[in-house]
């Protein structure tokens, strides 16, 4: 699905995190393929070892696939890392960069996230750039400052290529906790992100802004109805075919 000059593509992207096994993955994808297609562009970002299986299962269909991270390096002595070129060989369309679990657990800086996004674009992948604040930062009134800083590094590094990314706002305090930002809270941050992108490019209206943080079938419709929320980055619910399919329908 292509966006018009001023309309972002509606997207729902599943993030399996470190979950799944070959049998369960096969069953999940089979159910998803039967549940679709949807108007929104749908994808799943899966653990590295399963990319080959997922590519074989989904090739030729309407569901895209991607990875959960990539290296900022092209190649070389970086044991344990996976390059964007390798992901491209497996037909990935997307790659997550800067997920809060990577920023917190692996100490990823804003600039490293930006460098990963740049490397992904160089190999034809769409980076899904994740930004978001912790509960402490929200309570301190720092939400806008934090997400602006995180996105600024990407804007400055990518320059004129910034319209090629997807941005996902994921309040850290709402990831896997069962807590969800209200539609109004989420929209307020998305609106500020859109304004920041408008200041960087005249194509900002085409950039998909996704919400991530305990999105479920019972709150997806209201979240996705907000003017600057163009879909979702879905964690736990993406592992349940019926729930993920319902969320995809909510974005249509």
pLDDT digits (tens, 9 = 90+) for 158-214: 999 999 999 999 999 887 777 778 999 999 999 999 999 999 999 999 999 999 988
Active site residue 99: yes
Which DSSP letter does residue 8 get?
P
Using CA atoms, how far apart are residues 103 and 170, in angstroms rounded to an integer? 12
Catalytic position from the list 41, 99, 101, 133: 99
Query: Is 156 a residue of the active site?
Result: no
Query: What per-residue confidence (pLDDT) applies to 3?
Result: 47
Which regions of the chain are under pLDDT 70?
A: 1-5
Using CA atoms, how far apart are residues 187 and 223, in angstroms rounded to an integer? 8
SS3 content of the chain, % helix, strand, coil (to 5): 50, 15, 35
Which domains does the chain possess? Answer: 11-66+126-151+163-250 (3.20.20.70)
Cα–Cα distance between 252 and 240 in angstroms, integer?
19
Catalytic residue among 41, 101, 108, 170: 170
Predicted local confidence at residue 173, as pLDDT = 87
Q: 178 — alpha (psi -120 to 50), left (phi > 0) or beta? A: left
pLDDT of residue 217: 97
Nearest to 41 by CA among 154, 210, 160, 181: 210
């Amino acid at each position: 699905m292509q966006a018009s000059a001023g309309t972002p593509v509606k997207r729902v992207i599943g993030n399996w995190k470190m979950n799944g096994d070959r049998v369960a993955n096969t069953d999940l994808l089979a159910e998803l393929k039967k549940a679709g297609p949807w108007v929104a562009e749908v994808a799943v970002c899966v653990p590295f070892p399963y990319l080959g299986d997922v590519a074989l299962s989904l090739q030729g269909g309407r569901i895209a696939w991607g990875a959960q991270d990539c290296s900022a390096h092209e190649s070389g002595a970086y044991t344990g890392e996976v390059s964007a070129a390798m992901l491209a060989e497996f037909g990935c369309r997307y790659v997550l960069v800067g997920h809060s679990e990577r920023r917190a657990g692996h100490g990823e800086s804003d600039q490293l996230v930006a460098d990963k996004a740049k490397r992904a674009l160089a190999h034809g992948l769409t980076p899904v750039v994740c930004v978001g604040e912790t509960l402490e930062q929200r309570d301190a009134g720092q939400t806008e400052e934090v997400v602006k800083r995180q996105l600024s590094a990407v804007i400055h590094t990518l320059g004129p290529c910034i319209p090629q990314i997807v941005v996902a706002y994921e309040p850290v305090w709402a990831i896997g906790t069962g807590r969800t930002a209200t539609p109004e809270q989420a929209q307020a941050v998305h609106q500020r992100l859109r304004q920041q992108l408008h200041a960087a490019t005249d194509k900002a209206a085409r950039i998909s802004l996704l919400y991530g943080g305990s999105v479920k079938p019972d709150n997806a419709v209201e979240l996705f109805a907000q003017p600057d929320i163009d879909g979702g980055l879905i964690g736990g619910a993406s592992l349940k075919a019926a729930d993920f399919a319902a969320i995809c329908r909510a974005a249509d």
